[in-house]
Structure 1
Amino acid sequence: MKMKRGKKYVEAAKAVDRSTLYDTAEAISLVKKTAVAKFDETVEVHIRTGCDGRHADQQIRGAVVLPHGTGKQVRVLVFAKDAKADEALAAGAEFVGGQELIPKIQNEGWLDFDVVVATPDMMGTVGRLGRVLGPKGLMPNPKAGTVTMDVAKAVKEIKAGKIEYRLDKTNIIHVPIGKASFTEEQLADNFQTLMEAVLKAKPSTLKGQYLKSVTIAPTMGPGVKINPLKLA
């Protein structure tokens, strides 16, 4: 069954040639033009890779601070105790706690946060939430810098626009790079920063093409394909 697209989407889609691979500046300009929803749409990048995430040596996971942030208010939960809990609060974390938060998340389904940070000594406790946090991509991870003793730095970086990138089950990376209200320069800077990090993360064991396709799209608008060969 094909989803019926709204008039605005159809109009916006006419501006995008599905068979063209655009260069970055052109793609960003088109995405801004096609973001016609009544709200400030998020601009997302979808990177289809040639990796096979079932092999541990082809897994991609990391984090990068976008120079202009994502335009989204990010709520941070920190699992820490004593002095570390105080540091997290001082750095601007919305929620800080320990053991007592487990039933709230597990039994009451409380999930009013976007990123979870934990000190290493709290991971035994946090591990019990694996079934809840794991599928939502919220599990703290050392590679993403969210399992750390330096909770203040982690919270500040997340607030400044740090995002995590990782392969999903279909070997695609999905990440926000800002809002439609950002200037073209801001979106281009953020895109460039993300792509540099992803290119650096290329697994050395990978044979064949790394970036199969790179698409940039607003929440409600059509995707615009960027020529991946110009990015490598």
Structure 2
Amino acid sequence: MAEGTGDPSGPIRVLLADDHPVVREGLSAMLESAEGITVVGQAGSGEEAVVQAVALRPDITLLDLRMGGMDGVEATGQILRQVPGCKVVIVTTYEDDSDILRAVEAGAAGYLLKGSSRQELIDAVQTAARGETVLTPSLAGKLFRSRTVEPSPLSGREREVLRLVGRGLTNSEIGTELFVSEATVKTHLLRSYRKLGVSDRTAAVMKAMERGFLS
């Protein structure tokens, strides 16, 4: 369970932020139909999302990338600074790589397209609540295809680890997959962070994809 509830046995508490009420209601209905997830609030703008997040302390905020006023990138940064236990997942209709990358670099746990299925939405919330990376495969592939490949500073093993992070595996699962210890996985990740100039696993995967290192 994510940190925001303080109750590992309780439901995952979700805040929805989108400037279209119909979208919010649709997302809410899908999430409320899932066991172990409850929608604790809705916001219609980036500013309102920050206020609601501070007041409600959700585990997960599903945040539209483009809203009037404060956009999803700025709102992501503010929510994560003011509600450290919250995870932000960008939910967007847009596939512009630079905007998605900016959001992840601001600290978002990942991104999801609004056309995703109910199960994909639920899986994304549960994945983010476990502290793992949420990446929509079609958008990840778009990042792979659209970038010019440059020489990679990452070792072969570091690239392998980041590919598995991109698939949503935990450090322990990556260690099992690669027949190394969890501590070794963490070492590879820390080296990747330094080489890529990032501070977390999601941003590392996104930056490596953006620069063509995982193709």
Instruction: State the TM-score bracket (shorter-chain normalisation).
Output: 0.3 to 0.5
Larger Rg: 1
Q: Identify the structure with bigger relative contact order (alpha carbons < 8 Å, sequence gap 6+).
A: 1
What's the TM-score, normalizing by structure 1?
0.35
Q: Which has the higher strand share?
A: 1
What's the TM-score, normalizing by structure 2?
0.37
Q: Which has the higher helix share?
A: 2
